[in-house]
Amino acid sequence: MGGNSLLERTLDSRLAPIYRKVVAGQRLTFDDGVTLMTHPSLFAVGQLANLARRMRVGDRVYFNNNAHINYSNVCAIHCKFCAFGQSRRSSKAYTLTIEQIVAKAREAVAKGATELHMVGGLHPDLPWEWYPEMLRAVKAACPGAHLKCFTAIELIHFTRISGLTLEQVLLTLKEAGLGSIPGGGAEIFAPRVREAICKPKETAEEWLHVHDTAHRLGLRSNATMLYGTVETPEERVDHLVRLREQQDRSGGFQAFIPLRFHPENTNLGHLPGPTGYDDLRVIAVGRLMLDNFPHIKSYWIASSPAIAQVSLHFGANDIDGTVREEKIYHMAGARTAQYTELQQLLRMIWEAGRIPAERNTVYEVIREYPAEPDPDLVAAGAIRGYTVE
Ligand code: V47
């Protein structure tokens, strides 16, 4: 697939060389990333990202039917950006029993969920044995569900409470039903930002080491970036470059998911939070810089369904998901819903002129949809926002 000479003629002298690299499939440099992250025309950056997306992954947009289960919000560390984690004596603290987790899992799977995304805080009291036992119980109740569980930070916590090596922790969890690892806990890799927003948290090197180890053990994972706190454009690009280098080494990342910072109820509540421009910018620059990541995922819970939909023209090819119940963002003031109907996701994708495909966690297509809304569904009133001609 070639370039677009009309697009090239609209680009200025800073973006034109980047356009030529994108068309030639060449890797962008750190400096290119900073240019993209700061260029006054977000629209032009978005067009480059849309071109890169089309060349690399085509017009299909993935979504999945998933459920988030936050097994506990009790957390031994206190990151300034987080409203979810609570000390064990807080009135907002909770820990689900394994029976409650299994009940939530069953309910979600009965409604079509193929993925259970389960994360929590760094619980100071739960013993290590609880975690594989919990996975085994969920897997026994829902054998077909993919268990995407535990951030790199939780996994390091497990090594401390178990005395096991990281490999042993991962292999034990894998044996108990762990299917892959979500991308949380990455925040921004730059030490200056980590010091300011999540001082007690592990370093970038430690986060990357967990994903490296997981990939080498055959587990796939995702990568995130929390944006809109105190990071500079250069620190965002540094984060992307470090993810790209890790992917070159171990190859197991499936998706990059930028996470919009929500300030409410956090110790960074004085910050204004990111803008819509930031939301689209990080998706676009993520697509352009991460040439070895197949999927750029828009998390509508964090950014809003409207931004997630528009992001499909700024480099994204994946929308997360039906979700169901969400705590991390809603405790930090997110006003988005906690669940979206499948039909609503389809509408968002079709209206953006793209082709929906329901996927499982490892991006196998479960159901293909036509390029246009199905006239029978429209006639039946099942696709909101569409009327029959
Ligand atoms: O690690 C916490 C972030 C992450 C706030 O892998 C906050 O498919 C904004 O990682 N404002 C958890 N962000 C969520 C996450 C995730 C979400 C969707 C899909 C996947 C995936 C992963 O949420 C945390 C942290 O970076 N976070 N508090 C806050 N106040």
Residue pLDDT, tens place only, 175-232: 999 999 999 999 999 999 999 999 999 999 999 999 999 999 999 999 999 999 999 9
Model confidence at 338, pLDDT cuts 50, 70, 90, reads low
* DSSP helix/strand/coil, 121: coil
Q: Is the pLDDT assigned to residue 387 strictly greater than 50? A: no
pLDDT for 26: 98
Q: Is the pLDDT assigned to residue 9 strictly greater than 80? A: yes
Residue 226 DSSP code: E
Q: Is the pLDDT assigned to residue 388 strictly greater than 70? A: no
| Ligand 1 atom, smallest distance to 181 CA | 6
Model-level pTM?
A: 0.95
Q: Residue for token digits 């930028």?
A: 258
Q: What is the pLDDT of residues 301-326, one digit of tens each?
A: 999 999 999 999 999 999 987 777 78
d(CA 56, CA 246): 20
Closest CA to 48 of 95, 84, 16, 79: 16
Q: How many CA atoms lie within 13 A of 377 on its CB side?
A: 15
pLDDT for 379: 72
Backbone angles phi, psi at 190, to 5 degrees: -55, 130
Measured in Å, residue 269 CA sits from the centre of ligand 1 at 17
Mean pLDDT within 259-264? 97
**Which residues make Cβ contacts (< 8 Å) with residue 143, sequence separation at least 6?**
none
Token representation of residue 182: 């979500």
Q: What is the pLDDT of residues 141-173, one digit of tens each?
A: 999 999 999 999 999 999 999 999 999 999 999
Closest CA to 172 of 121, 144, 143, 133: 133
Q: What is the pLDDT of residues 97-126, one digit of tens each?
A: 999 999 999 999 999 999 999 999 999 999
Q: Is the pLDDT assigned to residue 3 strictly greater than 70? A: no
d(CA 62, CA 53): 13
Q: What percent of the chain has pLDDT over 90?
A: 85
Q: Is the pLDDT assigned to residue 384 strictly greater than 90? A: no
Indicate whether residue 183 lines ligand 1 (CB < 6 A): yes
Cβ–Cβ contacts within 10 Å for residue 245, how many?
11
**Which residues make Cβ contacts (< 8 Å) with residue 385, sequence separation at least 6?**
347, 351
Which residue, judged by its Cα, is nearest atom 28 of ligand 1? Answer: 82
Mean pLDDT within 363-389? 73
Which residue, judged by its Cα, is nearest atom 18 of ligand 1? Answer: 299
pLDDT for 325: 78
Higher pLDDT, 131 or 379: 131
Q: How distant is the alpha carbon of residue 47 from its chain centre?
A: 22
Which residue, judged by its Cα, is nearest atom 12 of ligand 1? Answer: 184
pLDDT for 8: 84
Q: Would you say 305 and 238 are in contact if contact means Cβ atoms under 8 Å apart?
A: no
Indicate whether residue 79 lines ligand 1 (CB < 6 A): no
Measured in Å, residue 106 CA sits from the centre of ligand 1 at 24
pLDDT for 160: 98
Q: Would you say 293 and 258 are in contact if contact means Cβ atoms under 8 Å apart?
A: no
Q: How distant is the alpha carbon of residue 319 from its chain centre?
A: 9
Indicate whether residue 222 lines ligand 1 (CB < 6 A): yes
Helix boundaries (H) for the chain? 5-10, 16-24, 30-38, 42-57, 98-110, 130-141, 152-162, 166-176, 191-197, 204-216, 233-250, 276-289, 300-303, 305-311, 342-351, 375-379
Mean pLDDT within 336-351? 82
The widest CA-to-CA distance across the chain, in whole angstroms, is 65
Using most ligand atoms within 8 A of CB, pick from 279, 328, 329, 362 the residue to mutate for ligand 1: 328
**What average pLDDT is seen over the chain?**
94
